[in-house]
């Protein structure tokens, strides 16, 4: 193809340089990188047309130097093992404990995988997030199965003595998985469990919109002590049936995104003219469908206003916890304040009052239930308090010392933020919450960090300094 003359010294030099610049091993690695990055099938390299393209673009490439799909699979395994050794060394030298997140994912072809990530601070104070394993889940997604996969990964990287905290969603199988992991590695499952805030906010909104199978309507009324909500027995029964029919369990493996629950999109005026009616729908019967009344649109507008703070809170609390990557990083130091704000918000809207910003950027009260009939107001109050009940339930589960540590060690917050937030709550006033958390923080420091070798860059911390560090 080069039309080189083998007797010409210049052409000989050109051909020699081309052959020396081309490395078949690097070519295989580049092919592997391309296939894996774009999630392409490995048998693509067996295509005759693809091989002709490679040979045409590189005259120095020989047919036998083009790898087969099996060669690339073996190369991928080899590269994974090589990288695993480097990751293992990096993990062992981490300054912090190694924290974990894991969650399941199912493809469109119903192939399920479990992603297991490690989070830590390295010797240079750089924050890392590394995907340690992505095992296929061929059995049911039970907590025991998840725990086995996570435990195998922890042992494979020799992290049994470096286990930190687990950040998970609130599915029931994760509860079971934490129990199994705590039993195997000997730690407190409640202390080491960090709950995904966007997920439990989603569950609170779902409870507010659809109710929950676990909620008994009469028990809810008895709990709130407000029989005025539903005075007719038939209405109570119908609403209870609707809640049980529409509600879904919290332990769904895949939960719809928060934005799907929060956003009510309106179609353009001409969208119905542009879109044809599907054949399964009888177009002649569509005229018999009832349109939303003005009163129903008022309910939709009220629900949008009620859910707006949840949308803002979700965007504030989601993220990787890495400052600078986005406007919000999802730090634990914001959990308590955001949930308290949302609980206060729901308590107000249950009374028909909403605080929102007007066009002049001034906060004002809005009366939600104006121009609504008594039955609509009762229904809205019930569903609002269902959301409050679910959110308060998960607020009570935020007991890990890690949440408090994030606030206490924040230079702009410290203990005074928690005191301002909790001293007004009767449940906190009757318990010595600060003393309890101080003891827990001291215990975590002494057990996990005090004797950890940090290298030359880290100076030793005396016992006096460790005690004074908690005096905020």
Is residue 458 assigned to a domain?
A: no
**Pair 205, 119 in one domain:** no
**Pair 229, 152 in one domain:** no
Is residue 12 assigned to a domain?
A: no
Is residue 233 assigned to a domain?
A: yes
- pLDDT tens for 249-262 read 444 444 444 444 44
Is residue 3 assigned to a domain?
A: no
Strand 363-367 relative to strand 353-357: parallel, antiparallel, unpaired? antiparallel
**Pair 234, 368 in one domain:** yes
The tokens for 87 are 């990751």
Q: Domain of 34? A: 22-91
Beta strand segments in 190-299, E: 193-195
Is residue 277 assigned to a domain?
A: no
**Can you name the residues that pair with 364 across neighbouring β-strands?**
356
- pLDDT tens for 270-287 read 444 444 444 544 555 555
Last residue of a domain, one of 177, 195, 213: 195
Spatial contact of 388 and 347, defined as CB atoms under 8 Å apart: yes
| pLDDT over 90 (residue 11) | no
Task: Identify the residue with better confidence: 339 or 298.
Answer: 339
- Work out the pLDDT band at 329, boundaries 50, 70, 90: low
Distances (CA, A) of 325 to 118, 320, 338: 18, 8, 21
**Pair 48, 30 in one domain:** yes
Is residue 456 assigned to a domain?
A: no
Is residue 174 assigned to a domain?
A: yes
* pLDDT score at 273: 43
Count of domains for the chain: 3
pTM value is 0.70
313-343 burial: b if 16+ Cβ within 10 Å, else e = bbbbbbbeeeeeeeeebbbbbbbbebbeebb
- pLDDT tens for 397-407 read 998 999 999 99
**Pair 169, 215 in one domain:** no
**pLDDT averaged over every residue in the chain:** 78
Spatial separation of the C-alpha atoms in residues 173 and 127, rounded to whole Å: 29
Spatial separation of the C-alpha atoms in residues 247 and 209, rounded to whole Å: 9
In 3-111, which residue ranges form alpha helices assigned H by DSSP? 9-21, 24-37, 48-57, 69-92
Spatial separation of the C-alpha atoms in residues 407 and 422, rounded to whole Å: 13
Spatial separation of the C-alpha atoms in residues 266 and 287, rounded to whole Å: 20
* pLDDT score at 248: 45
**Pair 257, 312 in one domain:** yes
Percent of the chain with pLDDT strictly greater than 90: 29
Helix, strand or coil, per DSSP, at residue 114: strand
Last residue of a domain, one of 42, 72, 91: 91
End-to-end CA distance of the chain: 76
């Amino acid at each position: 193809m080069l039309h080189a003359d083998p007797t010409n010294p210049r052409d000989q030099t050109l051909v020699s340089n081309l052959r020396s610049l081309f490395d078949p091993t690097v070519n295989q690695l580049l092919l592997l990188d391309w296939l894996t990055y774009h999630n392409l099938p490995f048998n693509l390299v067996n295509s005759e047309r693809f091989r002709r393209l490679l040979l045409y673009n590189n005259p120095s490439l020989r047919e036998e130097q083009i790898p087969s799909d099996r060669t690339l699979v073996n190369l991928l395994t080899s590269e994974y093992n090589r990288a695993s050794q480097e990751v293992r060394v990096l993990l062992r030298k981490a300054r912090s404990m190694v924290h974990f997140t894991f969650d399941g994912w199912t493809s469109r072809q119903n192939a399920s995988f479990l992603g297991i990530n490690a989070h830590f601070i390295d010797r240079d104070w750089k924050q890392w997030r590394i995907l340690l394993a992505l095992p296929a889940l061929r059995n049911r997604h039970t907590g025991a199965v998840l725990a086995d996969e996570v435990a195998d990964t922890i042992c494979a990287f020799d992290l049994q003595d470096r286990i930190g905290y687990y950040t998970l969603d609130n599915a029931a199988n994760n509860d079971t998985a934490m129990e199994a992991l705590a039993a195997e590695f000997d730690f407190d499952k409640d202390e080491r469990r960090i709950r995904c805030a966007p997920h439990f906010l989603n569950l609170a909104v779902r409870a507010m919109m659809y109710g929950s199978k676990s909620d008994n309507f009469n028990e809810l009324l008895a709990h709130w002590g407000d029989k005025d909500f539903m005075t007719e027995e038939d209405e109570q029964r119908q609403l209870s049936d609707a809640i049980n029919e529409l509600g879904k369990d919290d332990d769904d493996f895949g939960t719809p995104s928060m934005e799907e629950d929060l956003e009510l999109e309106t179609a353009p005026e001409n969208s119905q003219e542009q879109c044809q009616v599907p054949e399964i729908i009888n177009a002649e019967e569509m005229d018999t469908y009832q349109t939303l009344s003005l009163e129903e649109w008022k309910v939709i507008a009220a629900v949008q206003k009620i859910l707006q703070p949840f949308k803002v809170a979700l965007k504030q609390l989601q993220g990787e916890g890495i400052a600078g990557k986005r406007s919000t990083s999802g730090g634990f130091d914001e959990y308590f304040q955001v949930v308290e704000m949302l609980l206060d918000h729901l308590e107000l809207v249950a009374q028909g009052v909403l605080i929102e910003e007007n066009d002049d950027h001034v906060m004002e009260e809005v009366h939600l239930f104006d121009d609504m009939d008594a039955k609509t107001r009762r229904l809205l109050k019930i569903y609002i308090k269902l959301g409050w009940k679910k959110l308060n339930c998960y607020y009570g589960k935020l007991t890990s010392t890690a949440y408090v540590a994030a606030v206490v060690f924040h230079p702009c917050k410290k203990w005074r933020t928690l005191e301002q937030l909790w001293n007004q709550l009767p449940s906190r006033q009757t318990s010595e919450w600060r003393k309890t958390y101080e003891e827990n923080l001291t215990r975590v420091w002494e057990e996990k960090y005090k004797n950890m070798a940090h290298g030359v860059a880290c100076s030793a911390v005396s016992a006096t300094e460790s005690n004074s560090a908690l005096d905020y």
